[in-house]
Amino acid sequence: MGDGGAGSPPIQHAAPGQSPSRRLPDFLQSVNLKYVKLGYHYLITHLLTLLLIPLMAMILVEAGRSDIRQLWLHLQYNLVSVVVCSAFLVFGTTVYIMTRPRPVYLVDYACYRPPESLQVPYQKFMRHSRLCGEFNDGSLEFQRKVLGRSGLGEETYLPEALHALPPRPTMAYAREEAQQVMFGALDGLFRNTGIKPRDISILVVNCSLFNPTPSLSAMIVNHYKLRSNIKSFNLGGMGCSAGVISIDLARDLLQAHRNTYAVVVSAENITQNWYLGNRKSMLIPNCLFRVGGAAVLLSNRSADRRRSKYRLVHVVRTHRGADDKAFQCVYQEQDDNGKVGVSLSKDLMAIAGGALKTNITTLGPLVLPVSEQLLFFATLVVKKLFNAKIKPYIPDFKLAFDHFCIHAGGRAVIDELEKNLHLLPVHVEPSRMTLHRFGNTSSSSIWYELAYIEAKGRIRRGHKVWQIAFGSGFKCNSAVWQSLRNVKPSPNSPWEDCIDRYPVQLVDGIPSSQP
């Protein structure tokens, strides 16, 4: 939870006469030039390496064209040339080796699949909300409308504590939920990869709203008896985009440690964060967030390339926390009666749109074809220099990516991204179907979406996948992966027994089978 980015109110989407602040802004209206510069900065950072490679290639080609024997005789009697050439080759090779980032491979990942006993159909959700005695009639009706237009199906999951009447939001039940989710995902990961827990050198855990002492990462170390020198990190309060942040942190650590395995665990905890009050802005997360989690195995070992699924290409992070409205748009607080919950601002969609615009403008120069970059940059320059009243050219990201994993935060976010990025229904299908089958599982949702694409057999060698997520703060983060082979779903995929039923038909966001 903790991220509306998420949990944007579905009932506010595209309603006639709706305030523009409740929709993503039209990206055609404004794109800031400074964010384009950030993207090009990434390219300039590695410019020396890019220039040295073709230069060394030209030298080798020229050497191949000349008479090797004559060249040897010349060098025999020209000590200066020998020294200079040797020094240049040594320097160039050293610079290349020192500046080249180590490749980071995604060996495999596993998503937690809760037991069927924890499923919460539409009618059961409303019945429990009514019987728990905490909600007035207005709040019950509001939740019914939000749930009805949310895009969630009848098979999402809530923790055991919330199936009880009255609910039991205790520390003990919250720990139990955390253990079930994290250990369930990790057990699947170790089983699928054959990696022993003690082989793990780096552990990164992210959970936004449940941060007990000892930490969740310590809980994993204790359960699996991990090595005593493990480098463990526990990220809290970072919302639904924390999964990408964890990947970024693990990548940086893998650059500093050779031949290393890193595990990233992304989860959320609902037990102690279920809102039992009547403020509408704090009721929306109840309707959207559900149980889920994922564990990801990363490696920088060259020997693992052959068996890995993907290689990490880029991570681009955007943080709008310097702006007060962005900082407070997803805010955990108490209501007038002292009930704690996460409040979602009516400006959430506009703020998410601004963060997304910044993120994709920075990402564009790294991934887009040259033709798209030139058109994009040219229109920006003309508009900047001549104050021309022309709309900026919005690049076609379908030319850069083969698959899209858009955080399944809510139906409205998915709708608006589909519209503003000019995506096709098949591109947002993984997000819509993940929202329908599992609900908003916070930072792990992008892994359920990737599992969906794999289960459909759509990923081929060389395909690029764009994972993008929003989080409280306010943040928008992207990760780009390239497949190393034709990827098949791993054993015990969360979609294993239901992929044939998808995609389901949605009518105005409501599954056709739902009342």
Tell me the C-alpha distance between 144 and 142, whole Å: 5
Angle at 261 between CA 258 and CA 265, to 5 degrees: 140
Is 403 a known active-site residue?
A: yes
Catalytic residue among 405, 436, 463, 476: 436
Tell me the C-alpha distance between 295 and 186, whole Å: 6
Catalytic residue among 240, 287, 329, 405: 240
In angstroms, what CA-CA distances link 427 with 30, 225, 433, 449, 468? 24, 41, 11, 11, 13
CA neighbor of 208 nearest in space, from 276, 272, 267, 274: 267
Tell me the C-alpha distance between 33 and 455, whole Å: 40
Rg (CA), the chain: 25
CB 276 within 8 A of CB 167: yes
β-pairing, 310-319 with 293-299? Answer: unpaired
Tell me the C-alpha distance between 171 and 181, whole Å: 15
- The strand pairing partners of 506, in sequence order, are 511
Residues, the chain? 515
Is 257 a known active-site residue?
A: no
Tell me the C-alpha distance between 22 and 486, whole Å: 40
Catalytic residue among 278, 300, 319, 405: 319
Is 463 a known active-site residue?
A: no
Catalytic residue among 440, 463, 476, 477: 440
Catalytic residue among 403, 420, 427, 476: 403
Catalytic residue among 13, 407, 427, 463: 407
* Residue 94 per-residue DSSP state: H
Is 498 a known active-site residue?
A: no
CB 114 within 8 A of CB 157: yes
Q: Looking at the annotation, which residues are catalytic?
A: 240, 319, 403, 407, 436, 440
